Structure 1
Amino acid sequence: MWRTIFNLILVLLLGACVAFVAAPWFAFRALKANARDGDVQGLAELVDYDAVRGTLKGQLGPTPNATTAPAPTIWTDPLGAMKRALEPLTPPPPAVERYVSVQGLHDLTRGYEPGKGPPEPPAPQGLGDQALTLVQEPWPSLRYWGPNRSRFVVRGPDQPARETVFTFQRRGWFEWKLVQIRLPTEAKAQP
């Protein structure tokens, strides 16, 4: 009797460990499925839009000038800090919004630039066709896994050297959120 209970507890503990380790992969798959199906509520649960917009703005926007003065703080310039706090927030550039839209996220998870991905083929009908589609679908590769952060790489189907990196951060025991998208660096033509 005690041996059966011990084996049951051991199996449950092993299952919880496997679920903890595989949770980022399931979060990526859920992100891809929600973007494909246009599930905005599901995407809101999986994406930290402020963090993703911040990282994309740094990649897509102009590079900051080294001579730009830092933002005023309450300790160094109290009036300047209050003035800056009362200014209206500037919205992110339209180029960033294109990447965090439903269609943009769907194209990025498949390895394409936003708006350049081919339409999704119709869903397979039979169980055998679904399994075949799942096997043939390009899988993201794991670049890094840690207890609090993991990174997945999606390669472009037409250009395997073109890599988009998705970074997920753990927010709960089994809850992971997308916090960064690193876009591929386009190779410059050499003369």
Structure 2
Amino acid sequence: MKLKTILALLAALLLVAFFGSPWLAVHEMRAAARAHDAAKLGTYVDFEKLRESLKRGVQAKLLGSERNEQGEPSAARAFGAAVAGALLGPMVDVAITPESLARLLQGQRPAQAAVGGVVAPKSEEPLVPPEALETHFGYEGLNRFIFSVKKKDSDDEPVDLVFHRDGLFGWKLAELRLP
């Protein structure tokens, strides 16, 4: 009887840790952003996947949703997206840093967060107080977790940060969905 109780409690604890771990990762990431701790923040990010995801997302936005009868984008849009894609790679590589992610987590829009590779001066006050942010959390499958953030009372669409499972209990930011 005692062994069954211990095993049941252990199984319950493992389930809570398994399904609760992304909330902990987001909490730790936001705390690192508020503390301007780029090194700690960087441990929660898969920079290679994140940069590739962002490049694909921006390229898709440049192509737009207009399609011809064959389902392909117009020639002008395709050409523009190809030219922009050649310039986009190095720009994304420079723009995605722990500092720019910290600014995103503190409510700045993606364009503002990526500009000015200089970290905001260290202070106790975040760029936007946490209570002025609207956040949503949720699973998008067993190994994908979405954290959405935007300023309250803003008409802007939220920025979605997509975390992928890293091992059994770990999570890494691997995608960024722009509004």
* Aligned length in residues: 151
Matched, 1:106 2:105: no
Structure 1 stretch displaced more, 44-53 or 155-164: 155-164
Matched, 1:156 2:154: no
Question: Highest relative contact order (Cα 8 Å, sep 6+), 1 or 2?
Answer: 2
Identity %: 26
The answer on whether the counterparts of 1:36 and 1:103 sit within 8 Å (CA) in structure 2 is no
Aligned counterparts of 1:171 and 1:15: Cα–Cα separation in 2? 19
Aligned counterparts of 2:160 and 2:105: Cα–Cα separation in 1? 9
Match of 1:63 in 2: 62
1:173 aligns to what SS in structure 2? Answer: coil
Shift of residue 137, structure 1, vs aligned partner: 6.8
TM-score by length of 2: 0.66
Match of 1:144 in 2: 139
Shift of residue 16, structure 1, vs aligned partner: 1.0
Query: Which residue of 122, 125, 140 corresponds with 2:124?
Result: 122
Match of 2:178 in 1: 183
Aligned counterparts of 1:10 and 1:108: Cα–Cα separation in 2? 40
Q: What letter is aligned with 1:58?
A: R
The change in CA–CA distance for 1:173 and 1:101 in structure 2 (over 3 A counts) is same
Larger radius of gyration: 1
The change in CA–CA distance for 1:168 and 1:57 in structure 2 (over 3 A counts) is same
Match of 1:97 in 2: 94
Query: Which residue of 51, 54, 58 corresponds with 2:52?
Result: 54
Query: Which residue of 17, 42, 61 corresponds with 2:15?
Result: 17
Aligned counterparts of 1:66 and 1:144: Cα–Cα separation in 2? 36
The change in CA–CA distance for 1:158 and 1:119 in structure 2 (over 3 A counts) is farther
Shift of residue 59, structure 1, vs aligned partner: 3.5
The change in CA–CA distance for 1:144 and 1:35 in structure 2 (over 3 A counts) is same
Q: Can you give the 5+ residue segments of structure 2 that lack an aligned partner in the other structure? A: 64-72, 80-86
The change in CA–CA distance for 1:4 and 1:177 in structure 2 (over 3 A counts) is same
Aligned counterparts of 1:137 and 1:159: Cα–Cα separation in 2? 10
Match of 2:169 in 1: 174
2:18 aligns to what SS in structure 1? Answer: helix
Aligned counterparts of 1:96 and 1:160: Cα–Cα separation in 2? 29
- Report the RMSD for the aligned CA atoms in angstroms: 3.5
1:162 aligns to what SS in structure 2? Answer: coil
**1:120-163 per-position Cα deviation (integer Å, ceiling 9, x unaligned):** 8737xxxxxxxxx98x4746312434221111211223515421
The change in CA–CA distance for 1:139 and 1:162 in structure 2 (over 3 A counts) is closer
1:20 aligns to what SS in structure 2? Answer: helix
The answer on whether the counterparts of 2:159 and 2:176 sit within 8 Å (CA) in structure 1 is yes
Aligned counterparts of 1:164 and 1:94: Cα–Cα separation in 2? 19
The answer on whether the counterparts of 2:34 and 2:124 sit within 8 Å (CA) in structure 1 is no
